[in-house]
Amino acid sequence: AGAISSLQRQLEIQESQLRRTKSENEMLHKKLRERENQLQAMSTKFCSLREEQKQEEAMVTIEKENYSLQQVVMEQECKLAEQKQLISELQGTVRQLQAEVLSGQNHIHKQQRAQEAIQSQAERLQRSELRTRVALERISSRFERFRSKIIQATFSTAGSKPPQAELTDEEVLEAMQKIINEWTEFHQMLKQKGAK
């Protein structure tokens, strides 16, 4: 934006110089026409004079001035063409920079939208994680209560000794398997004896 502002100021300066040069050029053209009119008037006037030498000297002087003015006009026209070219180049640079700024702004907007989408997704994931943690805590709590009931049922049978320390899952499974085996053997024995 700073570069565009600087170029626009430079463009305004060049356009001001262009207007001034045009004005000077018009003034020089006007002077040139006046000189030509004077030359024509002098030529007409000197035609009626008998002093041919004075007429020739005056004509030479006017022609020199006329030539000098023509040279100045040519220089001003060259300057004018250069300034027009410079203004055209500056306008092209300004348009290019404005297009780049617009492209950069579009890119920033896309990045902001992508960031907002990522932020929204992250918030959804956080909420999902929180719900999962709550569900996991509930399941863990139910599992612990279930495990406690299994241990209580396993070691509350006749002849079982309550555990002295924290039991592992394998130890609880072994104790349950032992009770199941004993009940299975007892059931087989009753069947063999014909008991219902």
Percent of the chain with pLDDT over 90: 20
Other Cβ atoms closer than 10 A to 173: 13
pLDDT by 10s per residue, the chain, length 196: 777 788 888 888 888 888 888 888 888 889 888 888 888 887 777 666 666 677 777 788 888 888 888 898 899 889 889 988 988 888 888 888 889 888 988 989 999 999 999 999 999 999 999 999 999 999 999 988 888 888 777 777 666 666 667 778 888 788 888 888 988 998 888 888 887 6
Residue type present at position 122: A
Residue 112: the pLDDT is 92
Residue 49: the pLDDT is 62
- Closest C-alpha among 189, 174, 182, 177 to residue 158: 182
Residue 130: the pLDDT is 94
Write out pLDDT tens, residues 64-111.
Answer: 888 888 898 899 889 889 988 988 888 888 888 889 888 988 989 999
Read off φ and ψ for residue 116, nearest 5 degrees.
Answer: -65, -40
Residue 164: the pLDDT is 66
Residue 163: the pLDDT is 67
Residue 11: the pLDDT is 86
Read off φ and ψ for residue 141, nearest 5 degrees.
Answer: -65, -45
Please, what is the angle between helix 2-47 and helix 52-154, to 10°?
A: 170
